[in-house]
């Protein structure tokens, strides 16, 4: 059984990744390669649905290489159109019935959908649909879209999908497969990413450009916020605008942590942005030191930027063991106590007697930071300073990133100094919000009209939290009744 890695519970969890392609005879094989490039966005499960006149599907728990590495499996996924999904659960249990793409038979034929993100009014819509007689087969919010399409009065698949997405709230990118057609949709604010590429004459949709790179496709453009694109053999790529235009609020954490560093996101090289964040962090919080050490792997580009700006040598003072996966099975208490050493080990030769600056992308609960700082002390570091390439994470995300409840976030209940004391570092500093925006090419965060979704830092949620607010109201009502 797949289990959460016991020594990796102090990161914001990945979201999901989606991929779609129309045209090549080996569409499913190309989809599997694309999903492999998107594996960092979800490691719990993966699935592909293909079309050759009939629909074919294979979904399983586990990672892409294990699921689609078999010729026997790939031979079943026939056709020149396919969509795929890698999953990290943000809604719904970790179970096979929730593995995407989800598939349903409609009056117009088969339809499959894969979803990255989170619908913030899914529970409300689900209750309405159940009252109308809909029978849900999963606990994921994505199935709401299928039932909204089923109950739509629209005729075509496009009409039904437009009617469905106009009723949902949240942050999402969708790739869908219908007869001879692949469809992509991005939420009105563009919180979640989706890109368009071309493999020869074949259009491709993916969460990140790295999925285009792995199959040799050329990047064309980002799907725009609120845009629906229809890929079909007759008309090529058709753009529709089912929503009223709104401002853009792309998730800023894609730049900090989620996207692969070799991706291009919203016109920016992720690697370059992370180095700029590190440089800005060095300007804001310089400290005299002998060595800059990244917390691998996500802290590496920011640490390089920090080292270049501060002119302090960069070195790999922590070596990561890449063979400890998220499926580590039930360690004993003694092994669990060893904690971070199963995944990271100090490079003592470079650390002993040195004043070191550790650069990481975030602090969530703080448990890993405690262990990393302690590891540096045990390796003989003279001083240990921690620098974080994001502002303090003090609010939960409701838009497709699995974060702990607000009360479990270290920054929510502690000042920076209290956090420093907790992790036992000699100093601790986070990049400022304005510094983060500056690294992204803006003078600063523009007060009332931020350019990105930064709710995890500010609590400024750009999309209504309908289900969450209703749940809070219900709890308050019940408490009053009991009183």
Q: What is the residue extent of each domain of the chain? A: 16-249, 271-442
From the number of C-beta atoms within 10 Å of its C-beta (0-12, 13-18, 19+), residue 323 rates as: exposed
Assess whether 456 carries a catalytic annotation: no
- Buried/exposed code over 409-435 (b: 16+ C-beta within 10 A; e: otherwise): bbbbebeeeebbebbebbbbbbbbbeb
Report pLDDT digits (tens) over 290-312.
999 999 888 999 999 999 999 99
pLDDT band, very low/low/confident/very high, at 480 (cuts 50, 70, 90)? very low
Q: What is the CA radius of gyration of the chain?
A: 23
User: Over 70: is that where the pLDDT of 338 sits?
Assistant: no
> What does the pLDDT look like over 417-436, one tens digit per residue?
999 999 999 999 999 999 99
Task: Please report the pLDDT score of residue 329 as a whole number.
Answer: 42
Task: Please identify which of the residues 16, 176, 397, 456 carries the catalytic annotation.
Answer: 16
CA–CA distances in Å: residue 196 to residues 199, 404, 418 = 10, 32, 45
> Given 2.140.10.10, 3.30.450.40, 3.40.50.2020, 3.30.830.10, which CATH number is that of 271-442?
3.40.50.2020
Mean pLDDT score of the chain: 89
The per-residue pLDDT for 88 is: 79
CA 224 to each of CA 112, 191, 265, 267, 423: distance values in angstroms, whole numbers, following the listed order: 22, 10, 12, 12, 41
Architecture of domain 16-249 in this structure: 4-Layer Sandwich (3.60)
Question: What phi and psi, each to the nearest 5 degrees, are found at residue 140?
Answer: -85, 150
Q: Which residues, in sequence order, are CB contacts of 479 under 8 Å at separation 6+?
A: none
- Mean pLDDT, to the nearest integer, of 474-481? 44
- Rounded CA separation 389/277 (Å): 6
284 pLDDT higher than 90: yes
The confidence score (pLDDT) of residue 340 equals 57
Three-class DSSP labels, the chain: CCCCCCCCCCCCCCCEEEEEEECCCCHHHHHHHHHHHCHHHCCCEEEEEEECCCEEEEEEECCHHHHHCCHHHHHHCCCCEEEEEEECCCCCCCCHHHCCCEEEEECCEEEEEEEEEEECCHHHHHHHHHHCCCCCCCCCCCHHHHHHHHCCCCCCHHHHHHHHHCCCCEEEEEEEEECCEEEEEECCCCCCCCEEEEECCEEEEECCCHHHHHHCCEEEEECCCCCEEEEECCCEEEEECCCCCCCCCEECHHHHHHCCCCCEECCEEHHHHHHHHHHHHHHHCCCCCCEEEECCCCCHHHHHHHHHHHCCCECCCEEECCCCCCCCCCCCHHHHHHHHHHCEEECHHHHCCCEEEEEECCCCCCHHHHHHHHHHHHCCCCEEEEEECCCCCCCCCCCCCCCCCHHHCHHHHCCHHHHHHHHCCCEEEECCHHHHHHHCCCCCCCCCCCCEECHHHHCCCCCCCHHHHHHHHHHHHHHHHHC
Q: How confident is residue 401, by pLDDT bands cut at 50, 70 and 90?
A: confident
pLDDT of residue 482: 44
Q: By percentage, how much of the chain surpasses pLDDT 90?
A: 77
pLDDT tens by residue, 124-165: 999 999 999 999 999 889 999 999 999 998 889 999 999 999
In percent, how much of the chain has pLDDT > 70?
88
Average pLDDT of the residues in 82-103: 82
Residues 6+ apart with CB under 8 A from 415: none
- Please give the residue that has the higher pLDDT: either 345 or 263: 263
Give 180 or 214, the one with higher predicted confidence.
Answer: 214
What φ, ψ does residue 102 adopt, rounded to 5°?
A: -80, 150
Q: Provide the pLDDT for residue 392.
A: 97
Q: Is the pLDDT of residue 350 over 60?
A: yes
- Closest Cα partner for 19 from 59, 47, 43? 47
pLDDT at position 93 is 56
- Tell me what pLDDT residue 328 has: 41
Tokens of 417: 């100094």
Query: Does 16-249 match 271-442 in CATH topology?
Result: no
Q: What is the pLDDT of residue 483?
A: 44
Query: Could you tell me the pTM of the whole model?
Result: 0.90
Q: How confident is the model at residue 443 (pLDDT cuts 50, 70, 90)?
A: confident
What is the spatial distance between Cα 186 and Cα 356, in angstroms, rounded to a whole number? 43
Does residue 176 surpass a pLDDT of 60?
Answer: yes
Residue 479 confidence (pLDDT): 45
For residue 339, pLDDT beyond 90: no
pLDDT of residue 464: 94
Least confident of 239-243, 268-272, 328-332, 428-432: 328-332
Q: pLDDT tens for residues 196-233?
A: 999 999 999 999 999 999 999 999 999 999 999 999 99
Of 218, 182, 208, 191, the C-alpha closest to 23 is 182
CA dist 353 → 32, 92, 350 (Å): 48, 49, 9
The pLDDT value given to residue 155:
84
Mean of pLDDT values over 11-15: 58
Give pLDDT, residue 95.
Answer: 75
Is pLDDT above 70 for 5?
no
């Amino acid at each position: 059984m797949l289990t959460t890695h016991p020594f990796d519970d102090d990161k914001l969890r990945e979201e999901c990744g989606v991929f779609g392609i129309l045209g090549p005879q080996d569409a499913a094989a190309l989809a599997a390669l694309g999903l492999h490039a998107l594996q960092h966005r979800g490691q719990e499960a993966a699935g592909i649905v293909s079309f050759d006149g009939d629909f074919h599907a294979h979904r399983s728990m586990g990672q892409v290489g294990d699921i689609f590495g078999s010729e026997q499996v790939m031979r079943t996924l026939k056709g020149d159109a396919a969509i795929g999904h890698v999953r990290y659960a943000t809604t719904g249990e970790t179970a096979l019935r929730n593995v995407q793409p989800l598939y349903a038979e409609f009056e117009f034929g088969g339809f499959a959908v894969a979803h990255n993100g989170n619908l913030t009014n899914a529970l409300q819509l689900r209750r309405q649909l159940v009252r109308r007689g809909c029978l849900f087969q999963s606990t994921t919010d994505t199935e709401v879209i299928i039932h909204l399409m089923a109950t739509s009065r629209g005729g075509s698949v496009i009409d039904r999908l437009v009617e469905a997405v106009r009723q949902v709230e949240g942050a999402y990118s969708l790739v869908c497969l219908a007869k001879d057609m692949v469809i992509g949709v991005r939420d009105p604010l563009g919180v979640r990413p989706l890109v368009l590429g071309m493999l020869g004459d074949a259009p491709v949709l993916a969460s990140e450009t790295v999925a285009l790179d792995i199959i040799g496709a050329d990047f064309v453009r980002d799907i725009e916020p609120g845009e629906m694109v229809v890929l079909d053999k007759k008309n090529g790529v058709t753009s529709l605008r089912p929503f009223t235009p709104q401002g853009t609020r792309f998730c800023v954490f894609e730049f900090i942590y989620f996207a692969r560093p070799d991706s291009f996101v919203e016109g920016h090289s992720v690697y370059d942005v992370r180095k700029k964040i590190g440089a800005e962090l060095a300007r804001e919080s310089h400290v005299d030191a002998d060595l800059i050490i990244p917390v691998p792997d996500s802290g590496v580009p920011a640490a390089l930027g920090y080292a270049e700006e501060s002119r302090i040598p960069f070195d790999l003072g922590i070596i990561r063991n890449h063979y400890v996966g998220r499926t580590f099975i039930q360690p004993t208490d003694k092994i669990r106590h060893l904690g971070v050493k199963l995944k990271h080990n100090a490079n003592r030769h470079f650390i002993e007697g040195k004043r070191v600056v550790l650069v990481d992308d975030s602090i969530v609960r703080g448990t890993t930071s405690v262990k990393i700082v302690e590891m540096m002390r045990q390796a003989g570091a003279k001083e240990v300073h921690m620098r974080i390439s994001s502002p303090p994470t003090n609010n939960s995300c409701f838009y497709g990133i699995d974060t702990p409840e607000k009360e479990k976030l270290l920054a929510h209940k502690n000042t920076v100094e209290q956090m420093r004391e907790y992790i036992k570092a000699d100093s601790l500093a986070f990049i400022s919000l304005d510094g983060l925006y500056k690294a992204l090419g803006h003078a600063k965060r523009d007060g009332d009209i931020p350019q990105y979704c930064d709710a995890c830092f500010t609590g400024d949620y750009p999309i209504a939290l309908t289900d969450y607010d209703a749940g809070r109201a219900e709890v308050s009502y019940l408490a009053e009744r009991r009183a």
